[in-house]
Structure 1
Amino acid sequence: MRVGFIGPGIMGRPMTANLVAAGHDVRCYGRSDASRERARSTGAEVTDSVAAACEDAEVVVTMLPAGPDVLAVTTGDDGVLPSMPPGAVLLDHSTISPDEAREVHAAATTAGVRCLDAPVSGGEAGAVEGTLAVMVGGDPQTLAHVRPVLDAVGSTIVHVGGPGAGQVVKAANQLVVAGNLQVLAEALVFLRAHLGEQDLPAALDVLGGGLAGSTALTRKRRALLEQHYQPGFRIALHDKDMGIVETAARHAGLALPVTSVVATMIAAVKARGGGDLDHSALAELAADLNGSAR
């Protein structure tokens, strides 16, 4: 398919590469020189404007940091929607609020464009491997039409409801991931206090093989053991996502006390200057709270 791709960042660059490898005709736009250089490394055609990436595209993919970015890029005068041909599909992989997603859907309908909110989970590793989980909100027939595009980037692709539903499920995903990482951080403090560093890998091995095992533990094991938090998913973005969870919970009148605590811990890592660290850096804060040397 002819695909326009907006946003070749940490997640977007490998997703673009997988689309090219699957045989799609991909034109890619990034705002910065660095992002455009990343896009060139994928084999995609790199454009100098959003409009050039979207012109004649059957599908336009957006992978951007936050809701305001998505709204600005999609609805601006020189943005995605005015540049797309009627009947094409806007596929937004960004993580934004359900309300923002519904706003994008409405704008797409007005422009004569079909739309899916399709946030992803799996981190940079999942993007590289093409094994992302994709949570799709919108029309199921539109999903069937763009399935060849989604199959290039994900291995678990599920229609979860109408417009905005994908973002609701993604918010729940981010809550579960954050809670998992926080409990892992505290478990590491506990294990180091009782076992020391030498026996820690064996302890994680047995935890990973039982009910305590998780994708988070598998993906973040090396970072947690080596205490090096090179970003695969930045704390600043997870902080934004937890804000989405808390706002949506408040609108629904829900009491989620553990959510509030975990959101505060992520905000604290960001406030300490760790916004550009990987979200596994929750372990660093847990160690500091207990006077542990890093």
Structure 2
Amino acid sequence: MKVGVIGLGDMGSGLAKNLIANGFETHGLDLDPVRVAAFKDLGGQVLTDVRSMATACHVVFVMVMNGDQARSIILGPDGLALNMANGSAIILTATIQPHEAREIGKDMAGSGVHLIDTPVSGGFPGAQGGTLTMMAAAPVDVLDEFAPVMQAVSANIHRVGTAPGDGQTVKACLQSLIGAQFSATFEAAALAAKAGVSGQVLLDVFSTSSAGCGVVNNALEKIIDRQFEGTGSSIHTMHKDLTISMGLGEELGVPLHTAAAAMQLFHAGRTRYPDGDNWVCTRVIEDIIGAELHRDSAKKTRD
């Protein structure tokens, strides 16, 4: 089975890496020549346009940034839906708005190409390690048929529905929670810094308490080691995801108080530090209080 990956960034490169490692002939497409070169070094076969991807592959992962990009790649005149063979599958791993996934699915009806709506969680480490969690939505027989491809990139495949949009809806709920966990961790780190608590002490306590979890522990590690860029978790992605969560809450009339607070903190972080990763939001609060949390100690930055 020939497999394609469109979008070879932090997440897509991990998909490609694990597909190749599991013996799939893997084709890749990206606009960034550096990413393309890295993919080629992994043993992937480079393609230069979507139509070529459609005709070469039986399965294509779409890992792009937003719904407009996904729609263009899937439904454009040279897109996947019009040019892939009957019985092929598009695996939509990008996180987009639920209604966008539903609309793509509706417009694909009759194409003979399956759409598996399965956003992922696990971030850069999960993508590179092949341990992503997938929230997969498609008919049962389709998920059964393409399970081997999905298992190559995921440690946990949850079947959350049968229709496009079902996967994106679950992802929006998940991101509302993760956003709140992030923002609470950033605030706690700043509070500790101002109080003079060392980062290592905070990490030791948090990670062995009932509050410890992968999200909190990883964020706090990055904060106390001052790793605010280049960790594979761009602040723009989480900001986009929280926008989707808030949009779903608005659509359904559900108040999302803590997600809204997280959204504002991420908005501030993205504005102040546009090249940063998620953890850089902590610096926004640190700038206000004049203290930083380091692994060895808290550091006063000004009086």
Q: TM-score range by the shorter chain?
A: over 0.9
Equivalences for residues 23-102 of structure 1 within 5 A = 23-102=23-102
CA drift of 1:157 comes to: 0.5
Corresponding residue number in structure 1 for 2:168: 167
- CA drift at 1:108: 2.5
Tell me the alpha carbon deviations over residues 222-263 of structure 1, each in whole angstroms, 9 at most, x when there is no partner: 311122212422111211111111111111011112221111
1:184 is aligned to 2:185: yes
C-alpha contact (below 8 Å) 1:171/1:242 kept by paired residues = yes
* Distance in 1, Cα, partners of 2:25 & 2:246: 39
One-letter amino acid of the structure 2 residue matched with residue 269 of structure 1: G
After TM superposition, what 4+ stretches of structure 1 lie above 6 angstroms from structure 2?
A: none
Q: Which runs of 5+ in 2 are unaligned?
A: 293-300
Amino acid at match of 1:189: A
Report the counterpart of residue 150 of structure 2 in structure 1: 150
**Partner amino acid, structure 2, of 1:76:** G
Deviation digits for residues 32-77 of structure 1 (CA, Å, limit 9, x no counterpart): 3223213212211111211212214221111001111101111111
1:263 aligns with 2:251: no
Residue 219 of structure 1 corresponds to which residue in structure 2?
Answer: 218
What one-letter code is carried by the residue in structure 1 that aligns with 2:41? S
How many angstroms does 1:112 deviate by?
A: 1.5
Q: Answer yes or no: is the 8 Å Cα contact 2:59–2:91 preserved in 1.
A: yes
Q: Which region of structure 1 is more displaced relative to structure 2, 244-253 or 106-115?
A: 106-115
Which SS does the other structure have where 2:204 is aligned?
helix
Aligned equivalents of 1:220 and 1:266: distance in 2? Answer: 14
Tell me, what secondary structure is at the counterpart of 1:55? helix
How many percent of aligned residue pairs carry the same amino acid? 28
Q: Give the distance between the partners of 2:90 and 2:107, measured in 1 at CA.
A: 11
C-alpha distance in structure 2 between counterparts of 1:255 and 1:68, whole Å:
27
In structure 1, distance between residues paired with 2:103 and 2:57 = 22
Q: TM-score, normalised on structure 1? A: 0.94
Structure 1 residue 206, shift from structure 2 partner: 2.1
| Secondary structure at 2:65 match in 1 | coil
Q: Any idea what the Cα deviations from partners look like across 1:58-111, whole Å, max 9, x if unmatched?
A: 211110011111011111111221221111111010000001111221233232
Specify the SS of the correspondent of 1:110: coil
Q: Is the 8 A contact 2:65 2:94 kept in 1?
A: yes
Unaligned 5+ segments in structure 1 are none
RMSD: 1.5
Q: Which moved more, 1:122-131 or 1:45-54?
A: 45-54
The answer as to whether partners of 2:185 and 2:219 remain within 8 angstroms in 1 is: no
Deviations 1:197-227 (A, max 9, x none): 3xx2132112111211011123233311122
The 5 A counterparts of 1:186-201 are: 186-197=187-198, 200-201=199-200
Aligned partner of residue 8 in structure 2, secondary structure: coil
Q: Do 2:176 and 2:259's aligned partners in 1 also have CA atoms closer than 8 Å? A: yes
How many angstroms does 1:18 deviate by?
A: 0.4
Q: Which residue type is aligned with residue 207 of structure 1?
A: F
Secondary structure of the residue that 2:137 maps to in structure 1?
strand
CA distance in 2, matches of 1:285, 1:111: 48
Letter in 1 for 2:269: V
> What letter corresponds to residue 123 of structure 1 in structure 2?
G
Q: How far apart, CA to CA, are the structure 1 residues paired with 2:104 and 2:43?
A: 29
Normalised by the size of structure 2, how large is the TM-score? 0.91
Task: Say if 1:246 and 1:260, in contact at 8 Å, map to a contact too.
Answer: yes
Counterpart contact for 1:16–1:39, Cα < 8 Å: yes
CA separation in 2, counterparts of 1:28 and 1:54? 11
